[in-house]
């Protein structure tokens, strides 16, 4: 009887130990949470699908993502702008540059315009030009759409395309997807999105005769572009570093989804806007 009791107890202990190991393993399965840039979501979702980790991806805009990672609310903050150009303290944040993305003004194709000068573009977003006929297009009212404050796409577009113009006018949208949808479905509309968000039904505008293409971005001939950043609060853990590395090094995926590998760039841009050759 004592032997039987000892055997049952031993089996019970082993069973509990086994359960304990299984539970610990489950608890150690890495969960990665990402918030921020909506322009980067297609790339992040594609990378997440190839991972065994549990990865949650949310939008909210670049500034929100930077704030979330700085306050340890998420594992990674996705941003289309340098942390130094936001209101988030960047001291502890580690920047992992993933790719480059071009940004283009887009319009309703029926407006009848294909090219604007920088001054014309600025006048449109400042509300000084209000009809496409004033720009050689059809007699249609211009309806301007802009991204929300804190959007990395908006930050880059205003700095590099509008160049500090004051009094930007427009209906505010909170994602790249919403921007494409509104411009596509609104007669006379104009807005802007990352190249990765471009779809049929909207027309990317040439600016000063320069075509918004990847090739022109790599030489800075098309000046409206931004780095796609993944920020961590301090050095990333091994699973997070593995995920970031996968996103960074999958050039085929980067190109397929409308981004540009950083290795293809012939120039680099610092957080204060300085352009440097990478030869």
Three-state SS annotation for 52-71: CCEEEEEEECHHHHHHHHHC
Residue 212 domain flag: yes
**Cα dihedral: 237, 56, 264, 205 (round 10):** -150
CA distance 270 to 85: 11
CA 144 to chain centre: 21
Specify the CATH number for the domain of residue 90: 3.40.190.10
Residue 21 domain flag: no
| Same domain, yes or no: 113 and 214 | yes
| Same domain, yes or no: 119 and 54 | no
| Same domain, yes or no: 201 and 236 | no
Averaged pLDDT for residues 122-130: 95
Query: Pick the residue with more confidence: 207 or 20?
Result: 207
pLDDT value for 279: 64
Q: How confident is the model at residue 142 (pLDDT cuts 50, 70, 90)?
A: very high
- DSSP 8-state class, residue 239: H
| Same domain, yes or no: 55 and 160 | no
Residue 17 domain flag: no
pLDDT value for 201: 95
Q: What angle do CA 132, 156, 255 make, to 5 degrees?
A: 95
Residue 119: which domain range?
A: 102-218
Locate the DSSP E strands across the chain.
Answer: 31-36, 54-60, 76-79, 93-107, 115-116, 143-147, 171-173, 189-194, 203-204, 206-207, 225-233, 267-269, 275-277
Q: How confident is the model at residue 277 (pLDDT cuts 50, 70, 90)?
A: confident
The model's pTM is 0.83
């Amino acid at each position: 009887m004592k032997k039987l009791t000892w055997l049952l107890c031993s089996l019970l202990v082993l069973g509990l130990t086994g359960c304990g190991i299984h539970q610990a393993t489950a608890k150690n399965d890495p969960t990665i949470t990402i918030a921020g840039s909506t322009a980067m979501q297609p790339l992040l979702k594609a990378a997440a699908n190839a991972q065994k980790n549990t990865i949650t991806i949310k939008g909210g805009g670049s500034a929100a993502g930077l704030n979330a990672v700085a306050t340890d609310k998420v594992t990674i903050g996705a941003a289309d702008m340098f942390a130094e150009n936001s209101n988030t303290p960047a001291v502890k944040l580690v920047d992992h540059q993933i790719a480059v993305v071009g940004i283009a003004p887009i319009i309703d194709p029926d407006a009848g315009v294909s090219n604007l000068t920088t001054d014309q573009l600025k006048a449109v977003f400042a509300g000084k030009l209000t009809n496409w006929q004033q720009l050689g297009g059809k007699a249609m009212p211009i309806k301007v759409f802009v991204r929300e404050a804190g959007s990395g796409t908006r930050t880059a577009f205003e700095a590099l395309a509008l160049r500090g113009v004051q009094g930007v006018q427009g209906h505010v949208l909170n994602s790249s997807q919403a921007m494409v949808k509104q411009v596509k479905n609104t007669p006379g509309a104009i807005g802007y999105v990352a190249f990765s968000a471009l779809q049929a039904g909207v027309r990317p505008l040439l600016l000063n005769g320069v075509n918004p293409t990847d090739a022109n971005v790599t030489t800075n001939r098309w000046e409206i572009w931004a780095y796609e950043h993944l920020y961590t609060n301090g050095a990333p853990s091994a699973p997070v570093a593995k995920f970031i590395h996968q996103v960074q090094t999958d050039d085929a995926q980067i190109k397929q989804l409308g981004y540009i590998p950083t290795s293809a760039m012939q120039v680099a841009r610092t957080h204060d806007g300085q352009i440097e050759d990478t030869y």
